[in-house]
A and B are shown apart, each in its own frame.
Chain A
Amino acid sequence: MKKLIKIVVFLAILIVVGFKSVYFRKLDEMQVSAGSGLDVAAYTANYFKELNPLLDTSVNVVTLYQALKNKDLSLVKSKGHSLSLGSLKYIMVSGQGIVAKVDSGSIIVNAINNEMVEPVYIETEFIFGNAIRDASGIVKLSDFTNTTDLNNVSSEINKTIRETVVKPFVSTVQKGDTISFNGAIEINEKYLNVSDLQVMPIRLK
């Protein structure tokens, strides 16, 4: 009888210890640290306030494309920004021209400047990445103590552009319209390919 009690007690202890030692969590609950509690929406709203006056100082897209075709990166070096190390740089551009094509995810504009014309691809669906966040040089790494907040700001900026700039514009724009635009372009300084450049829109009129 004593032996039986011993076994029961031992098993009970084993079960309790085992139960307390092992626990299961779903994979998607194991997420990366949640940031510092930065008010991303407020930060983004303030970002756009600071960005608006800077839009008028953007590089003309035709001037930029022609310089890049001649492998001249001086505008990228002087006006481009990036929060990351590496060969990706982001630059703010402006332009105006005639809409040559409207696709489900993009608009092709024949941008004109000083009688020079350049076809420009404006993205209207995949507004993602850091182009709009980094191109202005407003956002500083020192504003952030963690990368989650930095990524969330990028995401919020892009979401704002998709909903408030692109959505109303694509519902009315047509081939042949004359439009003006401001945006940001990602440029790989090391592997430059002008035909792959895409404008992430910031303002479309």
Chain B
Amino acid sequence: MTLQRLYRILFVLPAFLCLLASCKQKDKKNQPKKIAIIISSLNNPWFVFLGETAAKKAAEYGYESKIFDSQNNTSTESEHFENAIVSGYDAILFNATDADGSVASVNKAKEADIPVFCMDREINAVGVATSQILSDSYSGCVNLGKYFVQQLDKKGKYVEILGIVGDNNTWSRSKGFHSVVDLYPGLKMVAQQSADFDRNKALEVMESILSANPDIDAVFCGNDGMAMGAYQALLAAGKQNKVKVFGFDGADDVVSAIKDGKITATGMQYPALMANTAAQFAHEYFGGRKNFPEKMPVSVEMVTRKNVDNYVAYGQ
């Protein structure tokens, strides 16, 4: 190979590569933006609704989207983030599996310049997600706590069934509830156990609690699935009319159960509002907006037998 030929190759090759890269960029510019919707678990209909609503809103804005199921597993969630990054997704709408365990994944997306908008579940990090749109679980449970005290006339024994211990919603709900109830010494919590937001586990937990504490007056549950599980256990023990059950979410079966007088109250969350706001924020981000509130609370409304006719499942 002559020296002249080598110079020619050295000149032409970079030019060719630049051309190829610019074609690729043009292609990406012409393609619709892609949004990854990573959901903690599609076993729970509440999260299915959250994910599908986000996908629908993204489609309305003209974006492609794909829903990923983390199966309540941070490793699976991390793989989804890696896939989303290498597959060239432009934004991630994210429902975290674990408040602490999910931070590393969001950090990876941030390093790859991909905005992440958290929906419903909080991550314990500041300045990592672009914005976190979260149900105001604490305030919702303050209201439930107030109603709980009124319904029990400030005295009695009760049980608390918690959600997933590593999830902030579990503790926001519990803390909001206790910020009111603990001011009344006549109300005694005889048991506090986790049932991982799972209906079947709540049924088992409640059965076991009832065997040691048959004389309870109320149960406060961190979500509606667990409230229904607890109610089933009470029904089997013949105590369904004596023990008041409180839930949180606004699920379809609990709204019906409140109408029938089986469940006393729940906190109505608005997953559609959260999903739509997350998709809207992503749309605004693509349009150039860069400043978003670190945390954007979404109101939770209390549903009781008195106002249940105003509400349908998930506040749709």
Residues of A near any B CB (own CB < 8 A): 27-28, 30-33, 36, 82-88, 126, 128-130, 141-142, 144-147, 150-151, 154-155, 188, 190-191, 193
Contact = CB atoms under 8 A, between A and B. Distances in A.
Contacts of B296: 85, 141
Contacts of B126: 36, 145-146
Given A27-B193, A32-B168, A151 B295 contact: no
Contacts of B165: 27, 30
B295 A126 contact: no
A100 B294 CA distance: 46
B99 to A, nearest CB: 8
Given A83-B297, A129-B139, A191-B307, 7 more contacts: A32-B175, A85-B270, A85-B298, A88-B299, A128-B145, A129-B142, A191-B301
Nearest to B167: A32
Which residue of A27, A82, A144, A154 has the most chain B CB atoms within 10 A of its CB atom? Answer: A27
A84 B294 contact: no
A150 B192 CA distance: 26
By size class, the interface of chain B is 35 or more
10 contacts: A31-B171, A32-B170, A32-B171, A85-B299, A86-B298, A88-B301, A128-B180, A130-B139, A145-B126, A150-B297
A141 B291 CA distance: 13
Contacts of B293: 141-142
B168 A28 contact: no
Contacts of B145: 128
Contacts of B277: 85
B179 A86 contact: no
Nearest to B124: A33
Interface of B: 99, 122, 124, 126-127, 133-134, 136, 138-139, 142-143, 145-146, 149-150, 162, 165-166, 168, 170-172, 175-176, 179-180, 192-194, 270, 273, 277, 293-299, 301, 307, 310
A33 B176 CA distance: 14
Which residue of B166, B172, B296, B297 has the most chain A CB atoms within 10 A of its CB atom? Answer: B297
Given A30-B165, A32-B172, A84-B136, A188 B297 contact: no
A36 B127 CA distance: 13
A10 B208 CA distance: 38
Which residue of A84, A154, A193 has the most chain B CB atoms within 10 A of its CB atom? Answer: A84
B146 A87 contact: no
Contacts of B134: 147
A81 to B, nearest CB: 13
Nearest to B276: A85
Contacts of A126: 146, 149-150, 180
A86 B171 contact: no
Contacts of B299: 82, 84-88
B279 to A, nearest CB: 14
